[in-house]
Amino acid sequence: MSTATVAKPTAQQPGKGSRRFSLPVLLLIIAGVLVLTSLARIISGADGITSTGQMSTALRLAVPIGLAGLGGLWAERAGVVNIGLEGMMILGTWFGAWAGYQWGPWTGVAFGIIGGALGAVLHAVATVTFNVNHIVSGVALNILALGTTRYLSKFTFEDAPQGSSKQSPPIDSLGTFDIPGLSSWLQTLNEKHWFLVSDIAGLVGGLVTNLSPLTVVAVALVPATWWVLWRTAFGLRLRSCGENPVAAESLGVNVYKYKYLAVIISGGFAGLGGAFLSIVASNVYLDGQTAGRGYIGLAAMIFGNWMPGGLALGAGLFGYTDSLNLRGGTTNVHALILLLGMLLVVGAAYLLWRRRTVGGLITLVISAVMFLWYATTDEVPRQVVTAAPYVVTLLVLSLSAQRLRMPKADGLPYRKGQGK
């Protein structure tokens, strides 16, 4: 009785970062960001920041990041840190292109998943069976995948028609489609440039315009992951391995099996993201094609607090900043400096309301710098546009660090029977 009395208050204490936004509050925040974005668009005249084309491009760029993040989510919910997502994506791009140009794009998608899963098996053997440090194993896998694909490309793509040692032959397209009627109506509404209404039309229009079938599959995997991990017995057992594997083992859960399954599924997701890059995004394999998206996917997962919904928002944010490189980059980023200044003012007001005076004043100073930068320039250097996705990654992780709550046993070594 006394043990339960002591343990109960401890279990109810909120851990660092355990506080979460409720759905109404989250929707209110999203609505506020949309209002400020629309205001910044009207002031700056940069209508492209919420255009249908911009949002469609952002979605296409967010998909591989989101898939990598989902892969990281599966592995880390089972207690295995997966820094090797980048390497698994690299394997996915190569295997997807290799099979795709020979036997068709859907076969390439399947082989991309298999390629990522093969890399995951190596990571699982090292971390789960031999208890190798998860970071060391992941970094080693990234290096191994990069070297292996470069080596294989010399024997497979170099002598192929329209191929080279650093590029595969073109792969047939999976095709694209629009939602009949809805896409054109939202496009028309977006082109009217009305306050807020046109911005919402551009956002929704980007989600229903110029879609690849693989994009639809990738988006559907977000709620599917949530349902499997949080609404099934399988998901409960898997998550218990990442929270307290000793307790899970005492209840009859085969911890090794669930860790292996989680890491292999993780590699499949990352491989699918790689196949998306080589089959949908560019229709060829290119050396260095992933460009760090595996790491950005990991950052999106952390930003989302190891939850599928937050991960999807993070992937969308990173995909949007990445899309600025492709569509009116310097003008749009200049407008986003104004938006950032507005958001910082709101953040400063919130901090001051919470009586965090120092943080609020620092945020106000930074917002003043943003407004000054916007007022004294007409556009930003191209280098700033190129660096935007990586800068946003660092900013988001640093600002959200206080609210994070990773699985308790994530990255910790485990041996069968260690609780006895």
Round the average pLDDT of the chain to a whole number and report it: 88
Closest to 219 (Cα-Cα) out of 305, 311, 111: 311
The whole-number average pLDDT for the span 29-33 is 87
Structure confidence at residue 16 (pLDDT): 43
pLDDT recorded at residue 20: 57
What pLDDT shows up at residue 275?
A: 97
Between residues 285 and 390, which one has the greater pLDDT? 285
| Domain end position, chosen among 279, 306, 327 | 327
pLDDT(23) > 60: yes
Residue 326: alpha-carbon gap to chain centroid: 19
Specify whether 106 is located in the same domain as 162.
Answer: yes
Better-predicted residue by pLDDT, 52 or 324 = 52
Task: Say yes or no: 88 and 165 in one domain.
Answer: yes
Q: Is the model's pLDDT at 224 over the cut of 70?
A: yes
**Same domain, yes or no, for 119 and 243?**
yes
Place of tokens 């592995």: 75
> Is residue 221 a part of any domain in this protein?
yes
Residue 183 covered by a domain? no
- Of 259, 293, 327, which residue constitutes the final position of a domain? 327
Say whether both 363 and 310 belong to one domain: no
Which of 56-70, 170-184, 347-361, 385-399: highest mean pLDDT?
A: 56-70
pLDDT in the model for residue 419: 63
- The answer to whether residue 96 is domain-embedded is yes
Let me know whether 116 and 138 are in one domain: yes
Q: Report pTM.
A: 0.90
- The reported pLDDT for the residue numbered 220 is 96
Tokens 């800068």 appear where?
A: 391
**In a domain? residue 185:** no
Is the residue at 2 inside a domain?
A: no
Residues 309 and 388 grouped into a single domain? no
φ, ψ dihedrals at 211, nearest 5°: -90, 140
Please indicate, yes or no, if residue 220 is contained in any of the structural domains. yes
**Whether 263 and 372 share a structural domain:** no
Which of 104-108, 155-159, 324-328 is least confident?
Answer: 324-328
Question: Do 141 and 80 form a contact (C-beta atoms < 8 A)?
Answer: no
CATH of the domain at 221: 1.10.3470.10
Q: 320 and 273, same structural domain?
A: yes
Number of domains in the chain: 2
pLDDT band at 326 (very low <50, low <70, confident <90, very high): confident
DSSP assignment string, 254-299: -HHHHHHHHHHHHHHHHHHHHHHIIIIISSS-BTTTTTTHHHHHHH
**Given a cut of 70, is residue 329 above it in pLDDT?**
no
**Token reading at 41:** 């668009």
Mean pLDDT of the 69-89 span: 96
> Using CA atoms, how far apart are residues 114 and 250, in angstroms rounded to an integer?
33
Structural domain harbouring 341: 328-404
End-to-end CA distance of the chain: 23
Same domain, 226 and 132: yes
- Both 338 and 315 in a single domain? no
* Residue matched to tokens 């698994």: 88
Say whether pLDDT at 359 is over 90.
no
Which range (77-91, 119-133, 335-349, 397-411) has the least confidence?
397-411
Out of 302, 327, 352, pick the residue that ends a domain: 327
Q: Which residue has the higher pLDDT, 399 or 182?
A: 182
Q: Is residue 260 part of a domain?
A: yes
| pLDDT exceeds cutoff 90 at 84 | yes
The whole-number pLDDT of residue 400 equals: 64
Place 118 in a pLDDT band, splitting at 50, 70 and 90: very high
The answer to whether residue 8 scores a pLDDT higher than 60 is no
In this model, does residue 241 exceed pLDDT 60?
yes
Domain co-membership, 247 together with 229? yes
Do 163 and 102 lie in one domain? The reply is: yes
Pick the more confident residue, 347 or 71. Answer: 71
Q: What's the rounded mean pLDDT across residues 242-246?
A: 94
Query: What is the phi/psi pair of residue 167, to 5°?
Result: -150, 140
* Top-ranked range on mean pLDDT: pick from 187-201, 317-331, 405-419: 187-201
Report the distance separating Cα 168 and Cα 274, nearest Å.
14
DSSP letters of 144-197?
A: HHHHHHHHHHHHHTTTSTT-BTTBPPP------B--TTHHHHHHHHHHT--TTH
Report pLDDT for 420: 62
Q: Using 50, 70 and 90 to split pLDDT, how confident is the model at 2?
A: very low
Q: How confident is the model at residue 29 (pLDDT cuts 50, 70, 90)?
A: confident
pLDDT value at 1 more than 90? no
Q: What is d(CA 116, CA 145) in angstroms, rounded to the nearest whole number?
A: 10
- Whether 225 is covered by a domain: the verdict is yes
